[in-house]
Structure 1
Amino acid sequence: MKIKKLIKHDAENYRNIRLEALDNNPDFFGTMYHEEAIMTIDTFREKIPVDKNNFILGCYKDKDLIGIVAFHQESRMKLRHKAYIRSMYVQPKYRKKGIGKLLLNELIERAKAIKEIEILLLDVVTNNLPAKQLYLSFGFQIYGIEKMAYKLNHQYFDMESMSLQIKSLFLSR
């Protein structure tokens, strides 16, 4: 297994796994499959960030992209100490094999290397127990619940907001 930062050249692989994620787990993502399936490969290419403070990590088994996770640092000055983890997905046949841990660990290590970042934030659908357990195992803590965050086929899904402090907070008064 190899973890690497996706580049524009990876757009087709990224599109394929992203659409697979939306198709396989529609209740875990804020976007629907049909919303992204109509997007061109160029649109997906543009979604792949090229700077160190925003990136998508991919886990490859040989030449196959089998897992992804996105990272986004806030750009506004008063919020630059925060970054968001989004769109994590591992193909079903590779789940429970440590791929999610590899991706999350690599993301956290890269986040720690970015000077300003102190806190990582993410949202997880409450009933996505495997993902929630993974995040809790890394020390993420639940700090809020948004009731009825998603609605799919007349069913509501609650969202838990989680945070992980990765650097000491310095209080200056």
Structure 2
Amino acid sequence: MTGVSLSALTPPRDASPVSLTLRLLTESDLTAYKSLRDAMLSAHEAAFTSDAASELPREASSYRHRLHPQAGGRALFTLGAWIGDELVGVLTCEHEGRLKVRHVAHLVGMMVADAHQGRGVGRALMGHALTLLRREPLLEIVTLSVSAGNAPAMALYRSFGFTRYGHLPRALRLSDGRYVAKDLMSLELQR
């Protein structure tokens, strides 16, 4: 897949507009992916199911499973958002092959670098991911989970039509012993 360029990003104050390129990650992107993931896991413990202590020692190549099958992975895709040579956001879509659940996809690992949050990167990733998912003839539903209380993420997902179908109290236990609930959301992929 070739990249999709967007120029509708909201620039930081007193800056010129920035061009964002969206494309599926490949093997050569895994180092950038790991760098972004490590930074996000370290800075936002309550936002992710994975923990920084377990993930930091991993090799970049250990994330190969997040790539699309043509790139040697097992995920449906991982979409990357680039500004120049910098990976500033990612979103992975997973899909099971088991017959009874082949119609369901799962969005996981949505992250946008702190310096680029609030500028439309997440919206661009989600919009393009949903476009890709709607092209998959077997898919009917997409799900995701979000840490309860993450109002910006919830607002983004709702703006695309996701609705909450469940709430899991104490879904995550943080390093300090606090618990974080997860809201479970879904979207019908209307044709």
Please state which band the TM-score falls in when normalised by the shorter chain: over 0.9
8 Å Cα contact 1:118-1:166 kept in structure 2: yes
> Distance between the aligned counterparts of 2:68 and 2:147, measured in 1?
28
Corresponding residue to 1:42 among 61, 68, 77? 61
Structure 2 equivalent of residue 171 of structure 1: none
> Distance between the aligned counterparts of 1:130 and 1:92, measured in 2?
13
Matched letter for residue 33 of structure 1 = A
Structure 2 equivalent of residue 150 of structure 1: 172
Corresponding residue to 1:67 among 70, 89, 96? 89
> Distance between the aligned counterparts of 2:131 and 2:157, measured in 1?
15
State the percentage of identical aligned residues.
Answer: 26
SS in 1 for 2:108: strand
> Distance between the aligned counterparts of 1:100 and 1:36, measured in 2?
23
> Distance between the aligned counterparts of 2:131 and 2:150, measured in 1?
24
Report how far residue 24 of structure 1 moved: 1.3
Let me know the Cα RMSD of the aligned residues: 1.2
Unaligned runs of 5+ in 1: 169-173
Corresponding residue to 1:23 among 33, 42, 65? 42
1:55-94 alignment runs, 5 A limit: 55-94=77-116
Runs of 4+ in 1 over 3 A off after TM superposition: none
Deviations along 1:57-99, whole A, 9 cap, x unmatched?
1100000000011001121111011000000011112111111
Unaligned runs of 5+ in 2: 1-19
SS in 1 for 2:50: coil
Matched letter for residue 154 of structure 2 = K
TM-score w.r.t. the length of structure 2 is 0.84
Structure 2 equivalent of residue 127 of structure 1: 149
> Distance between the aligned counterparts of 1:112 and 1:14, measured in 2?
25
Report how far residue 124 of structure 1 moved: 0.3
8 Å Cα contact 1:8-1:48 kept in structure 2: no
TM-score w.r.t. the length of structure 1 is 0.93
SS in 1 for 2:136: coil
